[in-house]
Amino acid sequence: MKSAVVVFPASNCDRDAAVALEAITGTKPHMVWHGDSELPEVDLIVLPGGFSYGDYLRCGAMAGQSHIMRAVKEKAEAGVRVLGICNGFQVLTETHMLPGVLMRNAGLKFVCRPQALEVVESQSDFTRNYEAGQRVVFPVAHGEGNYFADDETLDRLEGEGRVVFKYAKGENPNGSARDIAGILNEKRNVLGLMPHPERVCDPLLGGTDGKALFEGLLETLA
Amino acid sequence: MTAITPELVREHGLNEAEYAKVLELLGREPSIVELGIFSVMWSEHCSYKSTRLHLKKLPTSAPWVIQGPGENAGVIDVGDDDACIFKMESHNHPSFIEPFQGAATGVGGIMRDVFTMGARPVASLNALRFGEPDNAKTKHLVSGVVAGIGSYGNCMGVPTVGGETNFHKSYNGNILVNAMCVGLAKKDKIFYSAAKGIGNPVVYVGSKTGRDGIHGATMASAEFNEDSEEKRPTVQVGDPFTEKLLLEACLELMNTDAIIAIQDMGAAGLTSSSAEMADKGGSGIEIDLDMVPQRETNLTAYEMMLSESQERMLMVLKPGREGEAEAIFKKWELDFAIIGVTTDTGRMVVKHKGEIVADMPVTALSDAAPIYNRPYVLRSPAEGQPEFDAAKPAMDSLIKLLGTPDLCSKRWIWEQYDYTVMGDSVQQPGGDSAVVRIHGTQKGLALTTDVTPRYCYADPREGAKQAVAEAYRNISAVGGTPLALTDCLNFSNPEKPEAMGEIVAGIEGMGEACRALDFPIVSGNCSLYNETQGTGILPTPALGGVGLLKDISKMATVAFKRDGDAIVLFGE
Amino acid sequence: MKARVFVTLKNGVLDPQGKAIGHALNNLGFESVGEVRQGKLIEVELSETDEDKARAELKDMCEKLLANTVIEKYEIELKA
Amino acid sequence: MKARVFVTLKNGVLDPQGKAIGHALNNLGFESVGEVRQGKLIEVELSETDEDKARAELKDMCEKLLANTVIEKYEIELKA
Ligand SMILES: Nc1ncnc2c1ncn2[C@@H]1O[C@H](COP(=O)(O)OP(=O)(O)O)[C@@H](O)[C@H]1O
């Protein structure tokens, strides 16, 4: 499986994503600069976490306007898998590749903690190695992860099985609508999620619950 | 020409004897720019004039120390090709005035100190002291400071892995915000600040210069300020986004061999960086302020030399390498300007609009700076009764203790910091020391900050010793070998013999404990004059300790592991 | 009564957000854009009906909470 | 030409920040304060001198970058 990690100015989980990808797929991902307008031939594009453009104005807004995002959009339309983690998820909503927006956490504070999640949907390339209903723990680390969309959109997302991860009941860290932690696009090849699966791929870091996500992709795309 | 009146001199913080020395060193009256330069370089903050004599009593070397105090940060050998670079610094006053920005720029400043030496920052810690919880201001200060530290550190993508937080009424009007940064570099890729060589280009990179944080004299400021309707703010706004770009650009350039010397522009920005670099290189320096990237119009030479705008660096490059360096900074969308040249004159010469506005011997700002042996009295340990009553049931005392703000859980604080970014935080907040894996190896750094101000108040010497011992224990407790310390010596007014006595006893006590434990101090800073309305803070010599775990699989944690395990208490 | 309070950074204080927005607008092809500054807009509903009193109260709110006058300035706009 | 752009949350979108400010104001004793909403104020300097063109351009900036119209609305104010 060939992959690429997009680096925006002030991305800061680009290395974390690359380390996890290399450990699991055995291949070093391409690191792609935001100012480039072309992407290499890959099976997976990762938009990593961080504070692209300082999170100024709105998280992900300026990164959404970068050259490379036009190319990412085209690739996504052509079916390439795209994974947006944390700031990457924010970029995906800002470019309307995923519906809704991520607003300031309801508690108004940045929150970093191990977070229990429920895998709602295992019918996707990203979650095929999990079971529906499975409880996993990924860290969250964000100030703006409060997912918002109108009821109609939320109903549709749930009805179409596109809500992939939810925060465990009663443990919503940010006020997110319907406890949503991660969603798919209509074609099911683009996933955005706030928690960090790449930070739980090494037992020394407090768990390996994130590995199955990358292993699932590897099995699909190898 | 601005007339240099006695009043102006006083407003620049120079006393009569000091000003007489300025006249002698220059052989003439200073220009206003020169007066400003002397004022900052001879300030307590830059010159350590009250503490320099005593700081010499600290042990600073060991076989594993690569660089002790005197550079931007200390450097120790952590095995193989790896070097660990670290320092702690205070940002007390700005954080009291504007807690969010004050604390944020404190984090930014200490990170620059570390990456200017070629290290990638891998961990941050913070030692915080606030007033009483029910003081009207405390809540606002705590939430602002914590949010500020988080906002800067999180954006930089450096995990904030530990710290300590105390509350005491002596900090009601003078909180302490001490930030520590730890970085890693390869041993043969460490960068220093000595501006060696003649005719080498002096280069400015980072953000533009504005009228940020120009302390100086009120009168001089008024005179040089265009818009006098707004009082010039003395607190800077941090721009972590630009700093993150600056970090990446500097590390990219450091991968080449184009840099001769580099230093961050901290307090008194251009002045201290250029003077210190020239001093260390034993050279002279000439800079042309017209070349300095400017954020505002009509900046005067005085303002530019004293500006504390953040996110800037000064470098000396090898001649001919300017283009290569410029390309890197342009790629990261940062300013890059050649503003001067190194010389063999031993003088610092500053030009503005075709005129020489300052011309002075570099050594006048360093070696010739005043040193004081201030009078001090060593007081005997404070008398007092412990607050708890031994006759009461132990459980009552325990419950009372657990409810105190100093001992309660600090989760509310560290959950606002990203402590997992970079994927190497193998021991997260909540334990005795944080442990950060050295990326790509089985080694780990054990990191802790310690001091108990109550003890230092009771007995400055024993309290300081205890702080060193506690750092040593916290590192040992996770399985690390303690290697070295950085310090942040927060004290009150050195001009009061009682307070000066606390400083002397504190430094001597630290030194004694460090020698006994072979635990040298490799970097640090002093923050004096921490008092409000004549009342000083508790003596607070904060320490940041670094230790090494050769094999993180052997790391110990505080959690009980299994039912039935024996619990052993050892020590006295 | 409704009020709008504008809280902006004082002249000369670095505005990283404004700077970044300006940059982004230029990059998007809006070449006529010069300096950009970002501030806060706070809309307040007040039960107070006397304009002078409301204004005095809002000023007090700004000094006490809405602005940090070390780095920020504020402006008050009242709508009946 | 100078412009002010006000970006605020659409009605119906929850504004926890505004709520927190309102709360804090009440606690400080400002009892006449009712609902508080927080938005952004963006001040833009434009070299464009034609008012209609400037307005059109600003609208474009809002749609493309300054506001996220899923949850935000905007208002443009021009000063010559
Ligand atoms: N300001 C802070 N920032 C980050 N972590 C903190 C801070 N204050 C306390 N902590 C963390 O909380 C835990 C408990 O701190 P403390 O009460 O000082 O511990 P101890 O008394 O065991 O040294 C430690 O892991 C420490 O690193």
**DSSP calls for B349-375:** EEEETTEEEEEEEHHHHTTTS------
> How far is residue B247's CA from residue B359's CA, in Å, rounded to a whole number?
32
Residues in A 24-63 with any Cβ partner in C closer than 8 A: 53-54, 56-57, 62
Tell me the per-residue pLDDT of B115-145, one tens digit each, with 9 for 90 and over.
999 999 999 999 999 999 999 899 999 999 9
Pocket perturbation via mutation, ligand 1, pick of B165, B433, B470 by most ligand atoms within 8 A of CB: B165
Residues in B 324-343 with any Cβ partner in A closer than 8 A: 332-333
pLDDT band per the 50, 70, 90 thresholds, residue D12: confident
CB atoms within 10 A of CB A204: 18
pLDDT of residue B1: 66
Which of B12, B54, B91, B352 is flagged as catalytic? Answer: B91
Tally of residues, chain C: 80
CB atoms within 10 A of CB B229: 9
What string of H, E and C letters represents the secondary structure of B206-224? ECCECCCCCCCCHHHHHHH
Contact C33 D42 (CB under 8 A): no
pLDDT band per the 50, 70, 90 thresholds, residue B225: very low
Give the H/E segment covering residue B150: helix B138-156
pLDDT band per the 50, 70, 90 thresholds, residue B383: confident
Judge contact between D52 and D60, C-beta under 8 A: no
pLDDT band per the 50, 70, 90 thresholds, residue B382: confident
One-letter amino acid identity for A107?
A: G
> How far is residue B301's CA from residue B2's CA, in Å, rounded to a whole number?
13
> How far is residue B90's CA from residue B408's CA, in Å, rounded to a whole number?
24
> How far is residue B136's CA from residue B127's CA, in Å, rounded to a whole number?
22
Which residue, among A1, A3, A75, A70, has the nearest Cα to A32 in the 3D structure? A3
Give the H/E segment covering residue B461: helix B460-477
Helix (H/G/I), strand (E/B), else coil: A215:
helix
Residue B406 exposed, middle or buried by CB count within 10 Å (0-12, 13-18, 19+): middle
From atom 16 of ligand 1, which residue's Cα is the shortest distance away?
Answer: B164
Residue B17 exposed, middle or buried by CB count within 10 Å (0-12, 13-18, 19+): exposed
Tell me the per-residue pLDDT of B28-47, one tens digit each, with 9 for 90 and over.
999 999 999 999 999 998 89
> How far is residue B535's CA from residue B445's CA, in Å, rounded to a whole number?
39
**Ligand 1 centroid distance, CA of B558 (Å):** 13
Which candidate from D17, D66, D71 shows the least CB-CB separation from A101?
D71
CATH number at residue D27: 3.30.1280.10
The Cα-based distances of B457 to B168, B381, B542 in angstroms read: 12, 8, 13
> How far is residue B495's CA from residue B365's CA, in Å, rounded to a whole number?
22
Rounded average pLDDT over C66-73: 92
Token couple for B510: 């630290």
Tally of residues, chain D: 80
Q: Provide CB contacts within 8 A for B529, sequence distance 6+.
A: B44, B492, B493, B494
Judge contact between C1 and C78, C-beta under 8 A: yes
Token couple for B476: 């040992």
pLDDT of residue B391: 80
Judge contact between A35 and A103, C-beta under 8 A: no
From atom 23 of ligand 1, which residue's Cα is the shortest distance away?
Answer: B432
* Residues of chain C with C-beta less than 8 angstroms from the C-beta of D48: 32
What is the domain range of residue D10?
2-79
Judge contact between B424 and B122, C-beta under 8 A: yes
How many H helices and E strands in chain D? 2, 3
pLDDT of residue B384: 67
- DSSP alpha helix (H) spans, B44-137: 44-47, 52-55, 92-97, 99-115
Rounded average pLDDT over B244-249: 97
* Residues of chain D with C-beta less than 8 angstroms from the C-beta of A106: 14, 16
Domain count within chain C: 1
What is the domain range of residue A148?
3-220
Residue C70 exposed, middle or buried by CB count within 10 Å (0-12, 13-18, 19+): middle
Rounded average pLDDT over B191-204: 95
Helix (H/G/I), strand (E/B), else coil: B344:
coil
* Residues of chain D with C-beta less than 8 angstroms from the C-beta of A59: none
Residues linked to residue B294 through DSSP beta bridges, in sequence order: B209
Rounded average pLDDT over D50-72: 95
Is the pLDDT at B372 greater than 50? The verdict is: yes
pLDDT of residue B228: 36
Token couple for A204: 């020394």
Is the pLDDT at B223 greater than 70? The verdict is: no
pLDDT band per the 50, 70, 90 thresholds, residue B220: very low
pLDDT of residue A91: 98
Is the pLDDT at A51 greater than 60? The verdict is: yes
The verdict on B414 touching A (C-beta cutoff 8 Å) is yes
> How far is residue C31's CA from residue B444's CA, in Å, rounded to a whole number?
50
pLDDT band per the 50, 70, 90 thresholds, residue B222: very low
The chain C residues in contact with chain A (CB within 8 A) are 16-17, 20-21, 24, 27-28, 38
Beta-carbon-side half-sphere exposure of residue B328 (alpha carbons within 13 Å) = 20
Judge contact between B305 and B271, C-beta under 8 A: yes
> How far is residue A96's CA from residue A64's CA, in Å, rounded to a whole number?
9
CB atoms within 10 A of CB C65: 16
How many Å is the Cα radius of gyration of chain A? 16
> How far is residue B229's CA from residue A84's CA, in Å, rounded to a whole number?
48
Tell me how close the Cα of C80 comes to any Cα of chain B, in angstroms.
Answer: 30
Which residue, among B143, B80, B290, B127, has the nearest Cα to B204 in the 3D structure? B290
Residues in B 421-440 with any Cβ partner in A closer than 8 A: 421-426, 428, 437
pLDDT band per the 50, 70, 90 thresholds, residue B230: very low
Rounded average pLDDT over B83-91: 97
Judge contact between B238 and B108, C-beta under 8 A: yes
* Residues of chain C with C-beta less than 8 angstroms from the C-beta of D39: 40-43
**Angle C9-C11-C12 from CA coordinates, rounded to 5°:** 105
CATH number at residue A115: 3.40.50.880
Which candidate from C20, C28, C38 shows the least CB-CB separation from A53?
C20
pTM: predicted TM-score of the whole model, two decimal places: 0.94
Residues having CB closer than 6 A to ligand 1 are: B 126, 128, 160, 162-165, 410, 413-414, 429-432
The verdict on A143 touching B (C-beta cutoff 8 Å) is yes
* Residues of chain A with C-beta less than 8 angstroms from the C-beta of C24: 53, 57, 62, 65
Contact C20 A54 (CB under 8 A): yes
Tell me how close the Cα of A4 comes to any Cα of chain B, in angstroms.
Answer: 18
Tell me how close the Cα of C15 comes to any Cα of chain B, in angstroms.
Answer: 7
> How far is residue B35's CA from residue B357's CA, in Å, rounded to a whole number?
11
**Angle B363-B365-B367 from CA coordinates, rounded to 5°:** 50
Tell me how close the Cα of C49 comes to any Cα of chain D, in angstroms.
Answer: 10
* Range of lowest pLDDT (A178-187, B268-277, B506-515): B268-277
Token couple for B107: 């984090």
Residues in C 5-64 with any Cβ partner in B closer than 8 A: 9-16, 19-20, 23
The DSSP output letter for B183 is E
Judge contact between A134 and A127, C-beta under 8 A: no
pLDDT of residue B216: 42
One-letter amino acid identity for D40?
A: K
The Cα-based distances of B255 to A13, A33, A106, A112, B38 in angstroms read: 21, 19, 43, 33, 36
Question: Which residue is it, tokens 């560290």?
Answer: B414
Is the pLDDT at B560 greater than 80? The verdict is: yes
> How far is residue B365's CA from residue B226's CA, in Å, rounded to a whole number?
29
pLDDT averaged over every residue in chain B: 93
Helix (H/G/I), strand (E/B), else coil: A200:
coil
> How far is residue B513's CA from residue A106's CA, in Å, rounded to a whole number?
48
Please report the sign of the dihedral spanned by the C-alpha atoms of residue B181, residue B185, residue B187, residue B192: negative
Rounded average pLDDT over A184-197: 98
How many Å is the Cα radius of gyration of chain B? 24
Tell me how close the Cα of A131 comes to any Cα of chain C, in angstroms.
Answer: 43
Rounded average pLDDT over B312-316: 96
pLDDT band per the 50, 70, 90 thresholds, residue B386: low
Pocket perturbation via mutation, ligand 1, pick of B88, B402, B414 by most ligand atoms within 8 A of CB: B414
Which residue, among C36, C39, C29, has the nearest Cα to C9 in the 3D structure? C39
SS3 content of chain A, % helix, strand, coil (to 5): 30, 25, 45
> How far is residue B92's CA from residue B531's CA, in Å, rounded to a whole number?
11
pLDDT band per the 50, 70, 90 thresholds, residue B233: low
Contact A57 C28 (CB under 8 A): no
Domain count within chain A: 1
Tell me the per-residue pLDDT of B343-370, one tens digit each, with 9 for 90 and over.
999 999 999 999 999 999 999 998 899 9
pLDDT of residue B2: 78
Which candidate from D37, D41, D65 shows the least CB-CB separation from C39?
D41
Tell me the per-residue pLDDT of A58-98, one tens digit each, with 9 for 90 and over.
999 999 999 999 999 999 999 999 999 999 999 999 999 99
**Ligand 1 centroid distance, CA of B164 (Å):** 4
> How far is residue A148's CA from residue A154's CA, in Å, rounded to a whole number?
9
The verdict on D47 touching C (C-beta cutoff 8 Å) is yes
* Residues of chain D with C-beta less than 8 angstroms from the C-beta of C32: 46-48, 54, 57
The verdict on B296 touching C (C-beta cutoff 8 Å) is yes
Question: Which residue is it, tokens 């990690």?
Answer: A5
> How far is residue C60's CA from residue B219's CA, in Å, rounded to a whole number?
30
Token couple for B506: 């504190």
pLDDT of residue B389: 72
pLDDT of residue B221: 35
pLDDT band per the 50, 70, 90 thresholds, residue B219: very low
- DSSP alpha helix (H) spans, B283-423: 301-306, 322-331, 362-365, 394-402, 411-414
Tell me the per-residue pLDDT of B460-486, one tens digit each, with 9 for 90 and over.
999 999 999 999 999 999 999 999 999
* Residues of chain D with C-beta less than 8 angstroms from the C-beta of C21: 42, 65-66
Is the pLDDT at B457 greater than 50? The verdict is: yes
Is the pLDDT at D79 greater than 90? The verdict is: no
Contact C36 D47 (CB under 8 A): no
Rounded average pLDDT over A125-136: 97
Using the atom order of ligand 1, give the atom closest to the CA of residue B430: 25
Judge contact between B246 and B311, C-beta under 8 A: yes
Tell me how close the Cα of C11 comes to any Cα of chain B, in angstroms.
Answer: 8
Is the pLDDT at A201 greater than 60? The verdict is: yes
> How far is residue C9's CA from residue C14's CA, in Å, rounded to a whole number?
8
In total, the C-beta contacts within 8 angstroms joining chain A to chain C are 21
Contact B235 C14 (CB under 8 A): no
